Every structure is written in structure tokens, then in C-alpha cells.
């Protein structure tokens, strides 16, 4: 068995995402890989991490093997710090209490704009998606981490619709559009870890995952990526990280 066969694409998404989080942060997490990553970080090295749910739960504590299927599930409230209304928890974003927003999307473009609304022509969309929920609020007011599968049809030069703004048109356009704070912080895929160029705000490869080449990443991306002359390689998931992650999701609901 090769090293990359020890874990699934979803497991490396969760583990690499968890490594981006820091103790003491407040994280707005969606269900699935974002919640797994936040809970994994909390259990491994960030006991002071506070997890928020769109449903209103502040300081959620997720028991291993009891992952909530939605952010409104009542098991999210067990041992939580408090439970607010949805509007109140979104107000925490506006007041600057949330450090990291954590979610996925159907499409992402070179400036980190996310689409979770529809695919195709706005007047006659080919596919309708779940929509924004709190996605616009979260991406407008926090530093964002996005975890998603890496496919050319997902990594597009221009999203069909901006559900959740990243750096809009690049450069200073986010601030000029009335969003002075936040922005896209990291994008995590099974191929690499991405940041954004400080000046142009175009997506930039920070580290390749084990066994992945520059050509692998570029060939699966619908726009030209930014590469430094020397690109780091991520540390593969450790046995301990995989053990804790699989204890959190023993039925492999989100990590298969």
C-alpha cells in the first residue's frame, strides 16, 4: 500500500484544513468536511477553538461518532456555550467576533469567488444548487477557508454567479466593492494547498500534496495558477490524525 492509499481524498481535505486553524479562534463551520476539520483541530491541538453553526449554536462540542447531519440538528447544542437565533449568530459576524469562515462550493474562480447558486445561464440555468444560506455573510466578513474536490469544472476562470465573494476581480476590487475586511485565506484540495497573491489576489499554490506535480494541479484547473519558483510539499496525514478523524466519523459519512 502506498502512502496516498492510506487515506481518502475527503480525509486529506479534513486534515489539511484542520492544520490551518489556531487555538483561540472562532470558526463559523458548515456541516461535512468543515465541521470535521474544526472538530479535529479542537481535539488535537486547539482546545480553545470555538465552533459556530448557522443554526445559532455557539461553542458546539461534537461527540465522536455523533456528527450532526445539519447545522440545525439538536445534538449540536449539547454542552454548547449558548444557543442563539440565526439572525443573532450572523450579527456576531458583523460585530467582528468571528475569525474564520469555513465552507465549500460548486465552483471557485481564480480570485476565490464561490458559486453555490446555479450552473449555466442565469436566465435558464442548467443546474440549480442549494443557494447562499449564510454564505454571503460569512465570506463578506471573515477570512475564508474553502475545502473542495479539485476538478477542472469546479476551478473555473469565472464563476457563473458570485454567491460568496472572494477577491471579486482581483487587486483592490474587494475593498472598493465595500468589503474592507476578510477575504479568501486558504483553499484546500486533495491536490494542493492554495493561498492568494498579495498584490494581484490570484490563486497561488502554496504547497503540493505528496505525489502531486505542478502539471497535475494545473491540468485540473481551468485558469493559470501562480507558482513560486520553489513550492513546498505538505506533510502527509499522520496515523494519529487519521485515528482521531475516523473516530469522529466511524460510519464514513463524510470521509469515504
* Residue 54 annotated in active site: yes
Let me know how many helices (H) and strands (E) the chain has, helices first. 7, 14
DSSP 180-247: -S-EEEEEE-SSEEEEE-TTT--EEEEEEPTT--HHHHHHT-SSPPEEEEEEEEPPPPPHHHHHHHHH
Nearest CA to 195 out of 184, 179, 181 is that of 184
Nearest CA to 119 out of 171, 87, 161, 73 is that of 161
* Helices 33-44, 9-18: crossing angle, 10 deg rounding: 50
Cell 479539485, located at residue: 150
Give CA–CA dist 128/202, Å, rounded: 27
Residues with catalytic function: 54
Amino acid at each position: 500500500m502506498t502512502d496516498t492509499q492510506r487515506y481518502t481524498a475527503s480525509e486529506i481535505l479534513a486534515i489539511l484544513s484542520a492544520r490551518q486553524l489556531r487555538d483561540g479562534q472562532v470558526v463559523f463551520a458548515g456541516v461535512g468536511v468543515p465541521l470535521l476539520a474544526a472538530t479535529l483541530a479542537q481535539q488535537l491541538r486547539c482546545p480553545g477553538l470555538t465552533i459556530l453553526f448557522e443554526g445559532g449554536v455557539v461553542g458546539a462540542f461534537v461527540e465522536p461518532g455523533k456528527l450532526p447531519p445539519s447545522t440545525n440538528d439538536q445534538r449540536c447544542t449539547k454542552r454548547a456555550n449558548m444557543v442563539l437565533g440565526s439572525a443573532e449568530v450572523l450579527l456576531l459576524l458583523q460585530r467582528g467576533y468571528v475569525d474564520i469562515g469555513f465552507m465549500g462550493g460548486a465552483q471557485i474562480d481564480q480570485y476565490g469567488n464561490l458559486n453555490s447558486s446555479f450552473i449555466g445561464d442565469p436566465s435558464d440555468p442548467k443546474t440549480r444548487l442549494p443557494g447562499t444560506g449564510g454564505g454571503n455573510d460569512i465570506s463578506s466578513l471573515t477570512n475564508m477557508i474553502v475545502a473542495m474536490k479539485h476538478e477542472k469544472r469546479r476551478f473555473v476562470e469565472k464563476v457563473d454567479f458570485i454567491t460568496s465573494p472572494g477577491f471579486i476581480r482581483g487587486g483592490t476590487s474587494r475593498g472598493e466593492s465595500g468589503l474592507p475586511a476578510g477575504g479568501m485565506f486558504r483553499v484546500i484540495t486533495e491536490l494542493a494547498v492554495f493561498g492568494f497573491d498579495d498584490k494581484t489576489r490570484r490563486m497561488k499554490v502554496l504547497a503540493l500534496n505528496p505525489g502531486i506535480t505542478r502539471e497535475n494541479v494545473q491540468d485540473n484547473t481551468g485558469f493559470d495558477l501562480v507558482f513560486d519558483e520553489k513550492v513546498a510539499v505538505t506533510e502527509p496525514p499522520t496515523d494519529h490524525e487519521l485515528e482521531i478523524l475516523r473516530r469522529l466519523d466511524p460510519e464514513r459519512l463524510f470521509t469515504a
